[in-house]
Structure formats: C-alpha cells, structure tokens
Amino acid sequence: MELKDISIEDLYLLRNIMKVQILPGKRYLFEEQKLNIKENKHNSAIFLQGDEDAKPKQFTSGSSQDQSMKLSPNKESIAFLSKRGGKKEKSQLYIMPINGGESIKYTTMPNGVNSFNWSLDGKKITFSHRVSIEEQNDEDKAHEEKEKPQELSEVDQKVKKLKQEEAEKKKVDPRVVQKIVYRQETSFMDDKISHFYVLDLETRESRRITDGEFNYISAILSKDGTKLYAAKQKEDGQLNDLYEFLIEEISVESKKVKKLKSALGFGTSLSISPNGLWLAYDTILTTDEASTQNAEIKLLNIETGLEKLVTESIDNHAFSALFDSKTDYLYFVVDEWERNILYRYSIERETLEKVVLGDYQILSYDVDAEQGLILLNVSNVKEPSKLKVYDYVYKVTKTIWESNKDWLKERTQATTEEIKYTGDKQKEIQGWIIKPSNFDSNKKYPLILEIHGGPHATWSPHERTMWFEFQYFAAQGYVIFYCNPQGSSGRGYDFRYVVANWGTEPANDLLMGVDQTVAKGYVDENNLFITGGSYGGYMTTWIIGNDKRFKAAAPQRGVYNLVSFWSTTDITQFTKDETGAFPWEDLDEMWKLSPIAYVDKVQTPTRIIHSENDFRVPISQGEEYFASLLKLGIKAELIRYPEEGHELSRSGKPKHMQDRLEKIIDWFNIHKK
C-alpha cells in the first residue's frame, strides 16, 4: 500500500479522547471528539470499550456534544451534558443506565448547565446554572410560597421566550460597565451569576442553594447530603484583580453559610473523598506574582479542620486531583520536562510515590481501587489519542484503543528528534526537530520556528494540541523546530520565573536552538520562518524587531503592547505579575518589554492572525501592530476571524481552524526563496 502524506483534509479524520471512566468487569467509557465539516462544529460521543474488544461501541448518539460524563457512585448510570435539540440549545443534564436504555433529560435550565457532581450516595446531583439577582429573588419567593410553576402551552412558551429575548437585547443597548473585567472568553458578561442547585433524582425537583452576586465555580455535596461545599470569588475587589476564592460549607436546608478556607490562584476545583472526611482543592501559596507560582494541592479534614499540603516536595504544577474509591490515596498529575507523571499520596502514611510515568502526556484518567486499575487518556509523538490501562497490582500496561490508528496506517508521519543545548545564562534547553517524512539529509529544507504561549506553558513531542499542525507543516516540506525556553513550566519555579524578562533571554534560547538546527546542515538558512500564538505571538514579534534572519512571520493572537494590554484583557492582574508594574508605576519598563517598541526595526513580511472575539488578548493588540507596520512601509496583512476567541486553533469553528493553518503555510510559501 502506498502511503500518503498528511493533508489538510485529514484534520476532519482526527479523533481526540476527552474524559474516561472505569466500569466493573474491566469495561471502560470514554468521550471522543471530532470535527463536523458539514455543520462546521465539534461533535462528541461517549463510547463503551471492553478490555478485550477490538473496537468500542458507541454509547450515545454524538449528533451534538455529549460530554463531561461522570459515573454514578453505584456505577450503574452515567450522567453527562449534551446540547441536543438544535443549534441554540444549551447544555442540559442527561442520565443514562449503563446496561441499556435511553438517556433521560433531567434539566431544562434556560441558560444551561455548566458543571455538575454526583452526591456520594448517588441520590442527588449538584449542578451550576447562571441566574440574575432578579431571577434568584423569584426562585426564592416561589420556594417560600411552595408554588409550583404552571405548565405553559406551546404558544405561551414561545411568547415567554420572545419576551425574554427582547429583555436581553435591551440590557446591552447601551451596556453599563461597572467592573474592570466585563467580558470573558468570547462574549460580554451579563447580569447573570453562576450558582449551584441540588437536584433530587427521585422527585426530579431542583433548588438553588448558593446565593448572591458573586460567582460560584465548584461545588460538591457532603456524604449525608445535608451540606454543600462550594468555592466562590472573594467579595471584595474587582473581578480577576484578586486571586482569592472562599471555600464555604452551606446548609442545603437553611442555606446558612460557614467559611472554611481560602484558595488562591485563578480558580479552584473541589472534590470529596468517598468516606466523606476529606476535601481536596488546588491553590497557590501566595498571591505575590501569582501567575508565576506553582499550582499546589491541599487536603482538608472536614471534621477536625486538619490541613495537609500534599505537593510540598514537588517543584512543578500539580493538577487533576482524584480520590480512589477506598480513600486510601489521592492521585494527581504533575508536569515534568516533556512528560506528565501520575503521582499518588497516601492519606494515612502521608507519603508520595510516582505511579505512572511514560513517554506520553496524560490528558485525563480514572482510578478503580477494587480492580487495581488506572485508565489513562494519553497522547504521544505517534498517536495523539490513545487509551491505556495500567494494572498497578501487577504493574502491567496495555493499550486498548487508538482513535486514529486506522487512517494513520495509510499516512507517512514526520519524525521527531530531541535536541538539548546550552541556552542563555548557561541554562540547559530541551527542544525538538521535526523532519519531513521523505527527509533526505543531503537536501536543504526551509525551517519554521514554532513558539508556545504562556509564557509558562510546556511543549512536548507528545503535545496533542500541536500534533496535527506540526505534521501538516512538515508534510509541506518544512523542518520544524520548537523548544521550551526559559519561562516554560515543567522545570521548576526558578526556570519558569521570567518576570520583567519576557523578551531577551527566552528569545536567545529560541534563536540558539535555531542555530543548532541550521548547523546540522540540512536547513536552508535563507529560508527561515517564524510563528507562535499568544505569548508565542509576542515572542514572534519581539524576535523580528530584534533579528533579521526570518523571511516571513505569522504572529497569532499575540500581546504586542503591554501598556495597553493590561486594561483590555480579562486577566488584568496578570500583566503586573509578569512585568512587575502597571503603566503609571513604570511606563518606561513596560514599553521596553513591548514588541511594538521595536516595530521600526522590523523588515520581515508579517501576516498577523487574530480573532475578533478574543477577550483574553483583544484584537486591538493585532490592530496596533498591523497599523504600525503599514505606517512604516513593511509588508503586512491582518487576518481577522469573526466569532472566534483565544482558543481558535484548538476549539474554533472547523473551517476557521483549517483556514488558519492554510493562511500560515501559504504566507511562508509566498516568501520562500
């Protein structure tokens, strides 16, 4: 069989596993996501896989998005969110029996359900829904008067919906803004607040438990179901200006609130041990330069108030905490160089051990203490979506499903080679070179330097989000170089710390890697190109403002002017954490750290890629840099993607995802000598 190179059309064959769950009898559930080219959207379905089955069986329809699945404590049902019912339908909660039967819709919330958790006895579910203060008051009044809403006719329901839509339109014309952060992700924030409800599965009645004008972000029920443990934004300070969340204990009956702890950082996620004694939550240890801090995991004994810092001895980010079913261990994932490692912490002995480490990244996992199994959703350099089972009793790992195996059998893949070299300040830098599938060491190839975002991200040869992009660009005849410069995570706090130093040292690390790659003899040093997203967009423009070697650049969703960025982003405090100042405190320093300060030195043709609804890095950043280039007579283009946000490359509309890749490679092809 003649193998084909990976093409842009293969983007629509790509499958990605998301969440995973272990069932009794060595059976497994997993969510698999794909792009729907016909409807220009993302679809996902839940699949059932036996330990020895050749292929999984589709468990849900997947006609829309069936996602965020969670197994009931008795392991007889699965709850999930789905947007079934049309383009405008919001996510609602569905429950489906494991051993056969139809899924049943349990909620009809007008603004949809955003997250949920089972109670430990499986009789209740707590879920989040967004409601205004006025709607909260109406709900409370109805509950106090024990009123049940009258069933409306179909005509009355349509009339009510039209009135609600008209009322919503009036709210945004004009918008009254009273917070620094008034838009997030891809939309303007409205008057609705995220609150948690408790759904009784027997009566199918739900009641809101949390109140007020501040968002709750995570909630779980106590073992007896009488208390809700929930985390909310701290009540003083502007949104996102303070990295502090309050963990509260709330009576389900009376709604009486008791403050338990504060969690620091960009948010927190709560989980409760199966015996009901322990809360696990993630936090940072200080809000000083918060964006640079390690993500830590803490345990709180609900009865005694005893607190344990689980990750004290680990100098890297820890995340995705999960109790085993016997409350013997708390599991979690840690970044370490190019890999993720699964740790577990013995709650009784207070000891840490590495349980799973391999040449892959762990994207999600589940643990079954009764069967001694860990189910792993991983990606590696050859397969971006793989399901593995680790038997931790017998220490045996096996692969049970590879989502892309069939079509990849018919494709040639580019090869990846690790490279380690000495970077700025004698720091060891880890990078990778990707060579086209038909690589010939006697030929000269154009090179693309790819730069990650963050700056505190970590790239790996096993990186799922970049796997297709790297393979597609290499199939177009390019050598790809990427690395983890100073500022990257996975190497400890000191390596990650680049406060007030986003530019020079990380840029030197990147360019030294390019030099190392060119020195191998198969790269055409007259055909070097550069691209990156977010901080990678920043670094792309920093480099072309200080270095002339690149023939064309494609900065994406980048920060180009730190002076104007801080007040328009939805993470306002982040800028001070990373630069050390607000503009009125040290304008000169912030300007020196901004790529736009060096725009008059640019000679590189530049195609700027940005999304119009990107409220993490607003499109005004791209507009400023684009206008400056044109004013200076530099060849430049601005590609604007409507209705897209900061996550265009990962979760944008499929046709836009395809177009972005084609726009980058076309720009480089045009300027290739």
pLDDT digit string, tens, across residues 472-524: 999 999 999 999 999 999 999 999 999 999 999 999 999 999 999 999 999 99
Same domain, 287 and 435: no
- Residues 298, 425: one domain? no
Closest CA to 68 of 131, 113, 119: 113
- Per-residue model confidence (pLDDT) at position 160: 64
Write down the mean pLDDT value for the chain.
92
pLDDT per residue as tens digits for the range 163-195: 666 766 666 678 888 778 878 878 887 888 899
Q: Which of 323, 354, 382 is the last residue of a domain?
A: 323
456 within some domain: yes
**517 assigned to some structural domain:** yes
pLDDT at 157 > cutoff 80: no
Specify if 535 maps to a domain: yes
User: Is the pTM higher than 0.85?
Assistant: yes
Q: Are residue 458 and residue 564 in the same domain, yes or no?
A: yes
Q: What pLDDT does residue 267 have?
A: 86
pLDDT tens for 230-279 read 999 887 655 555 678 999 999 999 999 999 999 998 889 999 999 999 99
Domain boundary among 323, 357, 386: 323
Tell whether the model's pLDDT for residue 158 goes beyond 70. no
- Work out how many domains the chain is built from and give that number: 2
52, with CB counted inside 10 A (0-12, 13-18, 19+), is exposed
Both 425 and 314 in one domain: the answer is no
Which pair of tokens denotes residue 663?
């726009």
Indicate whether 555 belongs to any domain. yes
- SS3 of 415-477: the string is EEEEEEEECHHHCEEEEEEEECCCCCCCCCEEEEEEECCCCCCCCCCCCHHHHHHHHHHHHCC
Select the more confidently predicted residue: 99 or 297.
Answer: 297
Q: Identify the CATH number of the domain in which residue 451 sits.
A: 3.40.50.1820
pLDDT of residue 309: 96
Question: Which amino acid is it at 506?
Answer: P
What CATH number did the domain enclosing 208 receive?
2.130.10.10
**Are 330 and 343 a contacting pair, CB within 8 Å?**
no
Residues 432 and 304 in one domain: no
Residues 557 and 452 in one domain: yes
Domain boundary pick from 323, 358, 393: 323
Q: What pLDDT score was predicted for residue 204?
A: 93
Is the per-residue pLDDT at 155 higher than 80?
no
pLDDT tens, 57-70?
999 888 888 999 99
What pLDDT is stored for residue 670 in this prediction?
A: 97
pLDDT band at 32 (very low <50, low <70, confident <90, very high): very high
Whether 514 and 624 map to the same domain: the answer is yes
Is 335 part of any domain?
Answer: no
Whether the pLDDT of residue 451 is over 80: the answer is yes
Residue 487: per-residue pLDDT: 96
Q: How far is CA 318 from CA 281, 340, 341, 348, 410, in A?
A: 11, 10, 10, 20, 38
Q: What is the pLDDT of residue 236?
A: 61
- Kindly state the tokens that stand for 325: 């079913």
Please indicate, yes or no, whether residues 450 and 553 belong to a single structural domain of this protein: yes
In a domain, 30, yes or no: no
Q: Is residue 568 part of a domain?
A: yes
Domain containing 243 equals 118-146+191-273+275-323
Q: Residues 562-581: what's their mean pLDDT?
A: 92
Quick one: 418 and 319 in the same domain? no
For residue 621, pLDDT over 90 is answered with yes
- How long is the chain? 673
Q: Does residue 583 sit in the same domain as residue 437?
A: yes
Question: Are 312 and 420 found together in one domain?
Answer: no
pLDDT reading at 631 higher than 80: yes
Instruction: Measure the CA angle with vertex 6, ends 452 and 520; round to 5°.
Output: 60
pLDDT given for residue 347 in this prediction: 95
Query: Is position 256 within any domain?
Result: yes
The distance between the two most distant Cα atoms of the chain, rounded to a whole number of Å, is 83
Please report, rounded to a whole number, the percentage of residues in the chain having pLDDT higher than 70.
Answer: 95
Q: Are residues 298 and 432 in the same domain?
A: no
Q: What is the pLDDT of residue 426?
A: 95
Q: Cα separation of 178 and 196, whole Å?
A: 25
Beta-strand pair 479-483/445-451:
parallel
